[in-house]
Amino acid sequence: MALHDHVVPLIVEGRTAELAEALIDLPGYALTNLPAGCMGPALDWLVEADRLNEALVLYHSAHAVQAALPLPLSLAEGFAVRGLTDQALDLLKGWREGARKRPGEYLTQADALERFAGAEAALPVMAAAARAFPQSGAFASHHARLLLETGDTAAALAELDRGLEADPIQPPWVRGLRAALSGAPVTLGMLTLELPLDLLGPGPLLEILRGQHRAATRAAAQADLPEGATIHDAAAGPGVLALALAAAAPGATVSASDPDAPLAALAVRNLTANGLAGALTEGQGASVLITRLTEAAPEIPATVTRLILEPAPGLPPAALTAHLTALFAAGFTLDLAAGGADLVVLSRLA
């Protein structure tokens, strides 16, 4: 009987706990001919059982004799949770180093590295993917995104051009990013926008191009929107949310402003270019007000019946509590159904 024959029924029957115990007891060379797919569940079980050291030994034993082990994501996450980020990154970076991976494996590895340590950690993997699959526009565009987020705008633009030449059929955000990096107007559906990188930064620009920009705020603003509402976005940035709300609610009056003067000017240009008026002064006359919540108390016009607050990152809980207390005293009630982790929605009777 082969040394690992007693393991096969455990794999077939899905007896993961017993499989993990059996694999630990096998000598390293006996792992050579085991199905690679059995290793992932065994490692996952050991991590869930808080047996990280045994999982690590098993992974390295298998890694030495098997060429197609799955990415040790759960093991890396186990180390990261315990504050051992360097060990987690070593596992992710060293996985199948030098091997020609399947396309999806490059993306999975790069996504994990970016999540653990940012775009710079993922960049070598996506660069390798772009070299291994030069005709893949998807790899070129993801490589360009990482280059942009690490500050190399020129290289990002060159990589976008290379990818579009090799594979012209790309998602809309790719051509939008290429236009933005070139200083040209960006087309988003029926809209034409200025989206300058120097004003927005890579993260917000990519959120806009991918349709993720202030999605929770947009949903909250559209919920139970009264007929003829007057909506003012006082944290408008480039004006994308205001334009989206105007398109979704043709009967509403939509305007925008921003406390940052260059962004406010950009919002007005974008609104005007797409057929909307400029801005109400500080939202006077608005029935729906969207504003950024900072440590300074927000000024709320008396006409506002629906208030959508976007807390600034790092806003102290004491400041949020003080603001809410003042708003409750002014007749607002908290809309628990429409809020969320990064949004506070309040309403009051007209």
CATH number of the domain enclosing 111: 1.25.40.10
Segments of the chain with pLDDT less than 70: 1-14, 28-30, 35-36, 66-67, 277-283, 339-340
* Domain shared by 238 and 260, yes or no: yes
Give the structural domain span for 275.
215-347
CATH of the domain at 339: 3.40.50.150
Residue 11's pLDDT is: 64
Note whether 236 and 264 are same-domain residues: yes
- Does 341 lie in the same domain as 275? yes
pLDDT score at 40: 81
Among 76, 98, 120, the domain-final residue is: 98
What would the pLDDT profile of 299-326 be if each residue is shown by its tens digit? 898 899 999 999 998 899 999 999 999 9
Question: What pLDDT, on a 0 to 100 scale, did the predictor assign at position 46?
Answer: 87
Q: Give the total number of structural domains in the chain.
A: 3
- The pLDDT, as a whole number, for residue 337 is 73
Among 191, 212, 233, which residue terminates a domain?
212
Q: What is the pLDDT of residue 325?
A: 94
* 111 and 26 part of one domain: no
Asked if residue 152 and residue 88 are part of one domain, the reply reads no
Please check whether residues 1 and 61 belong to one and the same domain: yes
**226 & 192 share domain:** no
Torsion 218-289-293-277 (CA) sign: positive
Domain final residue, candidates 50, 66, 98 = 98
pLDDT at position 1 is: 41
Q: pTM score > 0.85 for this model?
A: no
Same domain assignment for residues 220 and 337:
yes
